[in-house]
Structure 1
Amino acid sequence: MPNGKIQWGRLLGRLSPYTIQKGLRYLKHYGPKEFWVRLHERFEPEEVPYGPWYEAYVPTREELEKQKKRKWKYAPKISVVVPAYQTPEKFLCQMMDSLLEQTYENWELCIADASPENASMEYVLKEYAARDSRIRWKKLEKNMGIAENTNQAFAMASGDFVGLLDHDDLLAPNALYEIAAALEKEPDIDVLYTDEDKVRGDSLEHFQPHLKPDFNLDLLRSNNYICHFFVVKRTLVEQIGGFLAAFDGAQDHDFIFRCVEQAKHIHHIPEILYHWRTHQSSTADNPDSKLYAFEAGKRAVEANLKRCGLKGKVSHTKDYGFYRVTYPVQGNPLVSIIIPNKDAREDLEKCVNSILTKSTYKNFEILIVENNSTGSEIFDYYKKLSQNPRVRLLRWKHPFNYSAINNYAAGKAKGEYLLFLNNDTEIITPEWIEEMLGFCQRKDTGIVGAKLYYGNNTIQHAGTVIGIGGIAGHMFVDMDRERSGYMHKASIIQDLSAVTAACMMVKRSIFEQVHGFEEELAVAFNDVDFCLRVRQLGYLVVYNPYVELYHYESKSRGTEDSKEKVRRFQSEIEFMRCRWEDLLKKGDPYYNKNLSLSKWNYSLKPKDGKA
């Protein structure tokens, strides 16, 4: 979301001794260069400031009163479970007040108090329980750890659904209402989660909104993006056995994995309904306070892979709580690399040389599809390439049509996996083929894409979002290569609706199942359309930022500057609007409705709806 220069006065105003201590820890962890990059990302001003945006976003008093009067056809009881331990009295009261302010009435609050010697907590809990019978609490004999304390709270729950709330956090007044509304509309939902933000200080200043995508398995393996507010059927909690003490510190990450593995219907409510309090001892504001939690999170991801029958190596990234999964290649399948080309000897030679000299995976063939070149230089280069047994030259004599050219080449390819590559790319990552192949070999995955940079080391592609710019657009365009963007999304593995075919791997069987690229789309959006049709079959499209290439952006084809090219481009836009009308109206499930469709850096959508 950030953009522009750091407001240094604002930053210096926050430099309390605690903030300085925290900064020194981060400096030690990241090193000077990475620390500077992250400092810029954290303190740059937001394009749309969140504070005023949030004030305009929250329901009005009239809307909340209307919610209270709603007549329900299905009104499930929601048990909110809270493991409490040495909770400051003020935080405890504010947490319980946030339940009492709910516009939905059929709830209970189940608090397991693991602070038996804390008389202040006991007094407050007794007072609130006497005030409202829906507030129930149990004094535990001792602190048994976060997992077992939570299980004690689970045991108190009698609701149809159970929601997880931390002892010092807050629910928005319409949180349970929105949960109940979703369940009334779709009673077969097993698991729900919402968006969230953070609050700090006595004024409960709201900041750092986390606006999430719909269920995203590879993102969950990269980071516990679901986190708060998480609600699950009580019978499902009983089925999986609650929290596991072996994952204390990341018990919620493990719990969420085990829930979604068994859930048939996972529902995301794209509303900010949970407020995560930050203070010195919370992981929200001080990751170093619970470094053991990140190791537990790594083990939670490993456990998920094992239960899913996947072999994968999980490693920590530079960023706390974010993980990288690498899947080993099974066997030694042939990969067919398909490169369309017209003239552009310099670009093609750079591309092919980078493949031949840098690739650590060796079982590949390169198919170069010649399309109406005119210069003698390129044919001299073709003659040189023809001496390499890994390279095959094909000829497409018709007018340029990216889809038709690649479909033709795919019919000639011998590989089990097809890797579409632009002629103006250059490989950076030696293990690029293994990285893509490891994901593409999974049963649930159809397509794998890469992270691409312009020659000046700014991002050209970090995934594609439907609706950006009208039809679809690349994310984080022109952002510096070193930066990771909103919630590190430029730099972590995740599922998306589409990726660019400038570097895209697909199972040959799936390519044939969807009949390849749409030849009505000669130049634009053919890769987006292709990805969406693969998604319709139920396969994942994975963005893997650990596959890095330079992309010098279609220099050989020129710009859309003639009347004919403009007309063709407009017809392709219209084709996409007609074919994908429903998706464009509903919005990309891997994006959030509260984010801008005119920006590509996860900026907030202004409340006037113009961006």
Structure 2
Amino acid sequence: MANEIAPFPLKGGAWVADGRRFHLPLLVRLASLRQGTVVMLAVSGVSEPVEIAIEGTERRVTVQPGALEPVEVPPGAARLVLKGERAAIGAARVAYFPVRGQFPLGRVILKLHSFLQGFRNAGEPGADLRQRWIAASDAARHLGFQMAARLASSPLQRQLWLPVYGKYRAQFVGDFAQVVPAEAAPLLLLASPVGASVPSDADLEACAAALRAQTDPAFDWLVAVDPARLERDGARLATLVKGIGRLVPAIGDGETSALAAALAEPEAADRLVGVLDPRGAPTRDAVAMIRATFADRPGLMLLYTDAERRDAAGAPVEGVFKPAFNRHLLESWPYFGALTVVRGARARAVGLRPAFAGAAPYDFLLRYLEGLDAEAVRHLPRIAYSGPDLPAGFADAETGAHAAAALSESLGLPVETTEGGRFLRPLFPVPQDRPLVSIVVPTRDRAELLGMTLRTLIAQTHYRNFEIVIVDNGSVQPETFALFDEVKGLWPATQIVRDGGNFNFSRICNNGVAATSGALILLLNNDIEVIDGAWLDEMVALIARRDHGVDTGVVGAKLLYPDRTIQHGGVIVGLFDYASHWFASCQPEAEGQEGRLLVRQDLSAVTGACLLIRRDVWDAVGGLDPERFPEDCNDIDLCMRVRRAGYNVVWTPHALMIHHESASRGRHRTAEHRARLRQQHAHFEALWASHVFVDPHYNPNLSRVNLFASVGKAPEDARAARGPEVRGAG
């Protein structure tokens, strides 16, 4: 069986003025008849990227040699044109893979193709056909995963998930049935900004209609209108909101004007207050779910909900599913989003600061949260608002700059903007005393791998106050011992700890930690390549943080495979009834769900391949568990115990390394090895109920059998208000 499945070749056709035609097969043309289809294109026989056009359309795509590129084939398309001169592309070949879900029997097609390819390559007609089919299934599964990862970085992904979201929406949006009595919770005061031209009259009318349809009528609606528009169009606007809203002149622009109008209301102190963007509309049960949650939680001070995006025609296209309270994510951008509701009395006491312009609501939010513990902030994982199709992050660079100034004042340190002003990055300082970091590296021979790790660690790392503890688990090769001597010469603060037992990753690491003296402990695999000199400064700065309710116990890094796709962008516990690296194998620049791969964030777990932990936290939770988890689950279990003890686990994209994953032990798993892993997963399930665990930094509306944050077929739990707390099965 070949290691890789060859794509289906396209038949080359005539040369035209700007390139060569390639004919789409009948299978693709039939699949695209109704509403188009998506395929993965591949190009070989060239050394440079090439442009491919779909004949008869304006669609173009650039394909890298040896890479997969998703492309939408519209209805009626029959040919592609490979652009270029004959001399440059004469030897080029174009091929494709069908994308799962776009073709009838798509998965079976790939398996059969893999099976037949393996049969041809092996040239052994008498070989075990069952084994060939198993190998073909494994190859097709791996290819399907690679294509899914590539699609996760593509704008076509949303189109492919639209039918799934449509089915989810039909059942689980607008389905909140409870309506609490008027006296059970304060009335909700909603305030909407109406600018000089936005929203349109039609949008405002639609928002008013949605409010008239609320199942819970215990709310008021304040509409803050740009003074010039109010003078010009006041009578028409009053007609649009008649019986449901009250017009007032706006002071300021946008969300700031709406919030200012709400806080100026004398009765606001006794109300719940939220800003409602009138470019969209609340779901019919929005007021009901918000008031019911405050009725259930007298100490609740802030509630935010999920939302959905609509296209330009007003059709829903995807959900915006948020994590529970996540301080580091909030310090990157105001991910709470639409329909964030606060208590009026505290909001009036905090007040607005117009000097922060478009970021004044963000500044307000930061100051409103000062002194509140996580219990006072809840996330309600239900869609309560359907709004415009806006990307994650701040609206523009100017707003981002104002937000950076607000956050800088809040934290008392410099803050820079990233991604063109969309996100923020606080520049947390490394402690002045530069604590000693004890780097524990378990190994057994494979000197070429270990040498790469240690040499790049020593040569590239800017943070120099570290010691290296190599835990040797039974090396026998002379090259390994020569490397030990070399490293001691390069970095005298190096010691070798001998561990002659069978492979038990947890025991090996624990023995290494026992020999260390640093206040900080870094677990580092022996197949990590350091490429960013500032990686350890970033991790040490984050783990030293003790402010705004943050008490960091563990920090994890962003790791790439050698091909520079993502290996570790954080761990979501509960995926596939255990835990998985979300967005694994995606492109290195992939944004992930709502931009989260681009920013720091709190998570429930990070990989132990590069994991920094405070010594006092290590001692408090007891290190790795060598009895239950000798090979697998040990790092996730450690992080979960750290979280349960009340410490933060933080992932950062600003510490970047390459992980030559499993190169030191190989990828092949025997039946005995698989049995051991199943037993360790069973131990993890017994401790953490992972088959029903919904990670607080994930969302119960997202699939637990998908690495790329796809909406699930149904919610994974009751969708009650939740926080970031982690508890075990017991």
Q: Secondary structure at the match of 1:555?
A: coil
Matched, 1:373 2:475: yes
Residue 130 of structure 1, CA deviation: 4.8
Residue 379 of structure 1, CA deviation: 1.9
Matched, 1:414 2:521: no
Q: 1:48 touches 1:604 (CA, 8 Å); kept in 2?
A: no
Amino acid at match of 2:360: Q
CA distance 1:285–1:571, shift in 2 (3 Å): closer
CA distance 1:247–1:477, shift in 2 (3 Å): same
For 2:461 and 2:207, locate their aligned partners in 1 and report how far apart those are by CA, in whole Å. Answer: 55
Residue 657 of structure 2 corresponds to which residue in structure 1? 549
CA distance 1:51–1:257, shift in 2 (3 Å): farther
Residue 479 of structure 1 corresponds to which residue in structure 2? 586
Query: Superposed, which structure 2 residues align to 1:178-257 within 5 Å?
Result: 178-201=289-312, 203-241=313-351, 243-257=352-366
For 1:9 and 1:207, locate their aligned partners in 2 and report how far apart those are by CA, in whole Å. Answer: 25
For 2:174 and 2:569, locate their aligned partners in 1 and report how far apart those are by CA, in whole Å. Answer: 42
For 2:450 and 2:655, locate their aligned partners in 1 and report how far apart those are by CA, in whole Å. Answer: 19
Residue 142 of structure 2 corresponds to which residue in structure 1? none
Matched, 1:76 2:186: yes
Residue 39 of structure 1, CA deviation: 12
* Higher CA-based Rg: 2
Q: 1:351 touches 1:425 (CA, 8 Å); kept in 2?
A: yes
CA distance 1:224–1:351, shift in 2 (3 Å): same
Amino acid at match of 1:568: R
Q: 1:103 touches 1:177 (CA, 8 Å); kept in 2?
A: yes
Tell me, which stretches of 5 or more residues in structure 1 are unaligned? 16-36, 279-283
Residue 702 of structure 2 corresponds to which residue in structure 1? 595
Residue 22 of structure 1 corresponds to which residue in structure 2? none
Q: 2:175 touches 2:285 (CA, 8 Å); kept in 1?
A: no
Amino acid at match of 2:287: L
CA distance 1:289–1:195, shift in 2 (3 Å): closer
CA distance 1:288–1:353, shift in 2 (3 Å): closer
Matched, 1:507 2:614: yes
CA distance 1:55–1:253, shift in 2 (3 Å): farther
Residue 210 of structure 2 corresponds to which residue in structure 1? 98
Q: 2:363 touches 2:407 (CA, 8 Å); kept in 1?
A: yes
Amino acid at match of 1:358: Q
Aligned counterpart for 2:686 among listed residues 578, 592, 598 = 578
* Higher alpha-carbon deviation: 409-418 or 108-117: 108-117
Q: 2:394 touches 2:423 (CA, 8 Å); kept in 1?
A: no
Tell me, which stretches of 5 or more residues in structure 2 are unaligned? 1-37, 42-51, 61-148, 717-730
Residue 174 of structure 1, CA deviation: 1.3
For 2:512 and 2:401, locate their aligned partners in 1 and report how far apart those are by CA, in whole Å. Answer: 46
Residue 591 of structure 1, CA deviation: 0.3
Residue 554 of structure 1, CA deviation: 1.9
Q: Deviations over 1:86-106 (max 9, x none)?
A: 243222212222211111111
Matched, 1:259 2:368: yes
Q: Secondary structure at the match of 2:435?
A: coil
Q: Deviations over 1:315-337 (max 9, x none)?
A: 12124421222312112211111
Amino acid at match of 2:411: L
Residue 21 of structure 2 corresponds to which residue in structure 1? none
Residue 155 of structure 1 corresponds to which residue in structure 2? 264
Matched, 1:46 2:158: yes
Q: 1:5 touches 1:45 (CA, 8 Å); kept in 2?
A: no
* Higher alpha-carbon deviation: 158-167 or 403-412: 158-167
Q: Deviations over 1:212-260 (max 9, x none)?
A: 100111011112211212001112202212x210121122222222222
Q: 1:73 touches 1:184 (CA, 8 Å); kept in 2?
A: no
CA distance 1:208–1:38, shift in 2 (3 Å): farther
For 2:252 and 2:662, locate their aligned partners in 1 and report how far apart those are by CA, in whole Å. Answer: 62
Residue 276 of structure 2 corresponds to which residue in structure 1? 165
Q: Secondary structure at the match of 2:598?
A: coil
Q: Secondary structure at the match of 1:603?
A: coil
CA distance 1:169–1:121, shift in 2 (3 Å): farther
For 2:410 and 2:304, locate their aligned partners in 1 and report how far apart those are by CA, in whole Å. Answer: 19
Residue 496 of structure 1 corresponds to which residue in structure 2? 603
CA distance 1:435–1:199, shift in 2 (3 Å): same
CA distance 1:148–1:56, shift in 2 (3 Å): closer
TM-score (norm 1): 0.86
For 2:253 and 2:568, locate their aligned partners in 1 and report how far apart those are by CA, in whole Å. Answer: 47
Give the number of the structure with larger relative contact order, counting CA–CA contacts within 8 Å between residues 6 or more apart: 1
Q: CA RMSD in A?
A: 3.1
Q: Secondary structure at the match of 1:192?
A: strand
Residue 568 of structure 1 corresponds to which residue in structure 2? 676
Q: Secondary structure at the match of 1:45?
A: helix
Residue 526 of structure 1 corresponds to which residue in structure 2? 634
Query: Superposed, which structure 2 residues align to 1:8-407 within 5 Å?
Result: 41=153, 43-46=155-158, 48-50=160-162, 53-54=165-166, 56-58=168-170, 63=175, 66-67=177-178, 74-86=184-196, 87-119=199-231, 121-127=233-239, 130-132=242-244, 135-139=245-249, 147=256, 150-156=259-265, 157-158=267-268, 159-201=270-312, 203-241=313-351, 243-264=352-373, 265-277=376-388, 284=390, 290-306=396-412, 311=413, 313-331=414-432, 332-387=434-489, 388-407=491-510
Q: Deviations over 1:407-432 (max 9, x none)?
A: 11111101111111000111011011
For 2:273 and 2:163, locate their aligned partners in 1 and report how far apart those are by CA, in whole Å. Answer: 30
For 1:493 and 1:199, locate their aligned partners in 2 and report how far apart those are by CA, in whole Å. Answer: 28
Q: Secondary structure at the match of 2:319?
A: strand
Q: Deviations over 1:127-177 (max 9, x none)?
A: 356524xx333235x657753553123222545311111232311111111
CA distance 1:532–1:38, shift in 2 (3 Å): closer
Aligned length: 569
Amino acid at match of 1:76: P
Residue 126 of structure 1, CA deviation: 3.1
For 2:428 and 2:677, locate their aligned partners in 1 and report how far apart those are by CA, in whole Å. Answer: 39
Q: Secondary structure at the match of 1:355?
A: helix
Query: Percent identity of the aligned residues?
Result: 28
Aligned counterpart for 2:541 among listed residues 438, 441, 455 = 438
